[in-house]
Amino acid sequence: MLRLILLRALRLATLLVGVSVLAFTLVYNSPIDPIQAYIGTDVDLTEEQLAKLREHWGLDRSPVEQYLAWAREMIQGDFGVSTLYKAPVIDVMGARFGASLALMGVAWTMSGVLGYLLGAAAAMRRGRLADRVISWYSYTLSATPAFWLGIVFLVVFSVWLGWFPVGLAGPQGVPAAEVTFAQRIHHFVLPALTLSAIGVANIAMHTREKMTDVLNSEYVAFARARGETDAQIFRNHGFRNSVVPAVTLQFAYFAELFGGSVLAETVFSYPGLGSTLTEAALGGDVPLLLGIVLVSAVFVFTGNMIADVINAAIDPRVRRRA
């Protein structure tokens, strides 16, 4: 197990190097001018002033020298200064990471629990109305983009019914320190509901297939012959054989979860890492953009590593292959 974790840690290091090189190359070759993005479009500078700024920021060096200088400072914990927020990138990400973590954590838990229950119910009622309804719901959501579902929820629950606010993490014009817990929950519901609804489909269909295999097995046929009821079969055989694969699949879902949070936070103007990533890309905030890209890579890799560790802990064949 220790060897598996060490190998995954080594892969994380190589992944971060690859992601950082790729992100830096893309940004370097993009039409974004870091100096213009920092000073704004309404400020005119002379050529001499621009040259001094380029020299001060190291933009007159070669791309390799710029990347190495940036990577050296990043390793020391200095992610640079955000040109949009005029603050250290690490502080900007830290202020928004909590909101994104809460949003993704609630959506991850709700989609996992609800998806498993729906998948198990569909398998136990295979071929009946409940199975067809759950399958239709899952296939439909699998083909539904998160931003489109978020807009639908906005129109229905905020505009038509007026049950929830249109966006943000608190009432407009109220300082963040004065927003109550109830107001935060009120603004939190629709983004979390959007992410949860999207995540239900995969886990439900996977659980349905796994549970169906269990119910069609010979040991379940023997259990039925002994007189066990459906509830006893689910408790004694179905749950134990289907819940662990469902949990590992849910951890491997981190990449889609983060991608969905970017879209959901943007639609609802929710102040998390996802919406900040969009702002950084549109505003040409290179330090903030690169910082969030690296943090998202670590987040997704951590989810996949947890899934691998759980698989290795359960299945000795996985441990031997590691």
User: Under a CB-based contact definition with an 8 Å cutoff, are residues 305 and 311 in contact?
Assistant: no
SS3 166: coil
* Top-level class of domain 95-318: mainly alpha
CB distance 220 to 214 below 8 Å: yes
* pLDDT for position 43: 67
Q: Please give the Cα distance from 265 to 257 (Å, whole number).
A: 12
Radius of gyration of the chain (CA): 24
Question: Rounded CA gap, 113 and 230, in Å?
Answer: 20
Instruction: State residue 171's pLDDT score.
Output: 78
Please tell me whether residue 75 adopts helix, strand or coil conformation: helix
State both tokens at 317.
Answer: 């064949």
- Pull the structure tokens for residue 113: 């629990």
pLDDT profile of the chain (322 residues), mean per 10: 75 85 83 71 73 77 84 83 84 86 89 91 89 90 85 89 82 78 87 86 88 88 86 84 81 80 84 84 80 87 81 68 61
Q: Tell me how crowded residue 93 is: count the other CB atoms within 10 A of its CB.
A: 20
User: Which sequence spans correspond to the domains of the chain?
Assistant: 19-88, 95-318
Q: Which of 211, 198, 205, 208 is nearest to 108 (CA)?
A: 198
